Structures are given as structure tokens and as C-alpha cells.
Amino acid sequence: MTRESLPTEAKTSRDSYDWLGMRLVLPALWLGLIVGISLIEAPLKFTAPGITIPLGLGIGRLVFGAMNIVEIVILAAWFFATFGRGLASSYQRMVSAAAAVLLVKVAWIRPQLNHETDLVLSGASQGGSLWHYAYIACDGALILLLIAALWAGIRALRR
């Protein structure tokens, strides 16, 4: 994010710095959510004593469903903190790209994963669907976008 990406009044207005702070807090919160759940909780869940595949899949459905709702709320707040505030189009494209990835993840991949989970629970499939890898790829893309947005926000604070 370049100096011109900050609102003109950012040099003097506390309100502008508050919005800049939101543009740091929200992607950081989202990044922490993805790292905590997708990269730490999900893989470890199946190594816990007594966790069966059906139990792990049921927990996963609940956790990832809740996570997706929180992601949507964070994204909505991030949109509000970003658009109409005089930011550079490059930063707005990062937010829009994150929205597109989340839309693919929630509206297209997650229903496929739910179907795959149903098949595993009914005994019709052994699991290991490519949809899991697609979901992981979306989370990887989000991680990169969120880090880039955080970096841009930090650079803007230093100016």
C-alpha cells in the first residue's frame, strides 16, 4: 500500500487511523483463525485418543461451519473498513480476491466436502477426497492474501 493509498485526511484524522487499525486487526484475526483451525486443530483432531473417523468428521463439520460463519463476518467488516475510504485499488483488489476465495470455499467446495463426509459416514467411501486439497489450497491462498494485506497495512502505518 503506497502513501497515496491512504485517505487524504489520514495524516491528521484520528478516524482515518482507526479505519487503518481495523484494516490491520481484521486480516490478522482472520489469519489467526485459519492457522489455528485449519493448520493446527484439524490435523491434530484425528490423533487424539478415542477420536473415531465419524466423530472427527462430525466435529470437523461443526468447527468448519462455525469458522466459515466467522470468516464471512470478518470479511464483511473488512469490506466496510476498506471500500469508500479512498484506498488504492491494489489494496481493494486484495480484499476482493479474499472475498472471491472465501466464496469458492464456502459456496462450492464446502458442499462437496459435506457430501463426501456423508459418503464416508455411510460407508460408501473411504475418504481422502480431492475436495479436501481444494479447501486447503483456498486456505493457503487466503493466508498469502492476508499476509500481503497485513504487510501493506503495516507499511502504511510507518508513513
Per the structure, the complete domain to which residue 42 belongs is given by: 3-157
- Please give the tally of structural domains in the chain: 1
Band of residue 3 on the pLDDT scale cut at 50, 70, 90: very low
| Global pTM value | 0.86
- For the chain, the DSSP string reads --GGGS-GGGGT-HHHHHHHHHHHHHHHHHHHHHIIIIIIIHHHHTTSTT--HHHHHHHHHHHHHHHHHHHHHHHHHHHHHHTTS---HHHHHHHHHHHHHHHIIIIIIHHHHHHHHHHHHHTS-----HHHHHHHHHHHHHHHHHHHHHHHHHHHHT-
Residue 128 has pLDDT above 90, yes or no: no
Residues 68-94 pLDDT 10s: 999 999 999 999 988 887 777 888 999
Residue 157 has pLDDT above 80, yes or no: no
